[in-house]
Amino acid sequence: MVITSISVCQFSSISKLYLHRGGRGHLNFARTTSPTTTRIISSKSAAAIGCGRKYIPVFTPFRVSITRRRLMAINAAPTQTAATGTSESLRKGIAEFYDESSGIWEDIWGDHMHHGFYEPDSDVSLSDHRSAQIRMIEESLRFASLSDDSKQQPRNIVDVGCGIGGSSRYLARKYGARSQGITLSPFQAKRAQELAAAQGLDDKVSFQVADALNQPFPDGQFDLVWSMESGEHMPDKTKFVNELARVVAPGGTIIIVTWCHRDLPSSEESLNPDEEKLLNKICDAFFLPAWCSTSDYVKLLQSLSLEDIKAADWSQYVAPFWPAVIKSALTWKGITSLLRSDDKGGNSHAFDDRRI
């Protein structure tokens, strides 16, 4: 296990981010001289269990600030995916996967569809796992240094890859903010809105079906852009990061939590065949494109002339989650949920460890 901490300060002058859309497949960036700062927090968490080996989850946050910016155009050509081969079929597969499996997840785990944060080597119960998922949110906010000062708290939030809206509702309640969630799954968008109404938050949060790579929002709309474990589904990581940067307001914050493979040392050009084989099985099971590393994300952020990049490996804090997911499928509640899903023509392989 590698523990990583990275901090980069590239330039002293700070510039406002201004973006406009150029030709097809391009985003053009221009700089202005307004002294504002945008921070980007990115994190990763990647895990798999199978073949007699355990790949420990990894959680690595980055912090980045906007600084000197040159005029640039970034090509956003789609990449081929291990799961389906094309971006369009991948989007369809993701939508169907979550349409079919989100109800099962909610039955067992509740509002939140992401890792929990734990003390290393701790013994935890199912109820502890739900608390750990809340702690994951709080630890991410703490790492991002979001202020508890009411005058500096976010007021307008977007939840990119919102699931059934757990983070959106939590953040809206915590900050008294307005939150908009986007997902590829019609089921998730509908269920998220139902839960918001049931919790008395339908005036604060809203949800819609939309693509994270082509978000239906104007430039600079949100002072908090939140993506909790959705980046691993993005076939074009460059376009994903660009869209997050486009919709964040100057002075705002972006938080990303996503699955990545390990960073490669200079002596290695690629993962070894066993690692590739295992990751491909995860791609097939969870509708994921090809994996990237933390350093790949750092390079993307650096290519945008951002500064103050900070990374920290939280592997040991999320490790208990995947065994709990597998175990949850073997409980009576898990079995009955799977059977109900099967009766509806649902897809149960989200909890089938044999696929992994």
Q: What is the mean pLDDT of residues 120-140?
A: 83
Which of 91 and 28 is assigned the larger pLDDT? 91
Lowest-pLDDT range, 104-118, 174-188, 289-303, 327-341? 327-341
Q: What is the pLDDT of residue 58?
A: 46
Dihedral (Cα; 233, 239, 243, 246), 10-degree rounding: 160
Beta pairing class for 62-66 and 39-44? antiparallel
Lowest mean pLDDT among 91-100, 212-221, 267-276, 333-342: 333-342
| Top-confidence residue, 34 or 82 | 82
pLDDT of residue 97: 87
Closest by CA to 257, choosing from 105, 110, 61, is: 61
Kindly list the distances between the CA atom of residue 145 and the CA atoms of 123, 138, 228, 324, 355, in Å, as whole numbers in the listed order. 29, 11, 17, 30, 38
- Range from 94-103, 188-197, 208-217, 330-339 carrying the lowest mean pLDDT: 330-339
DSSP 61-91: -EEEEE-----EEEE-PPPP-TTTSSHHHHH
Arithmetic mean of pLDDT, 186-200: 97
- Give per-residue pLDDT as tens, 297-310: 888 877 876 666 66
Q: What is the mean pLDDT of residues 17-33?
A: 29
The two structure tokens encoding residue 206 = 């809203």
Quickly state the pLDDT bin for 254 (edges 50, 70, 90).
confident
Looking at residue 107, its pLDDT comes to 79
Between 303 and 131, the higher pLDDT residue? 131
Summarize the confidence of residues 139-144 as an average pLDDT. Answer: 90
Decide if pLDDT at 152 tops 90.
no
Residue 70: is its pLDDT beyond 80? no
Is 83's pLDDT higher than 90?
Answer: no
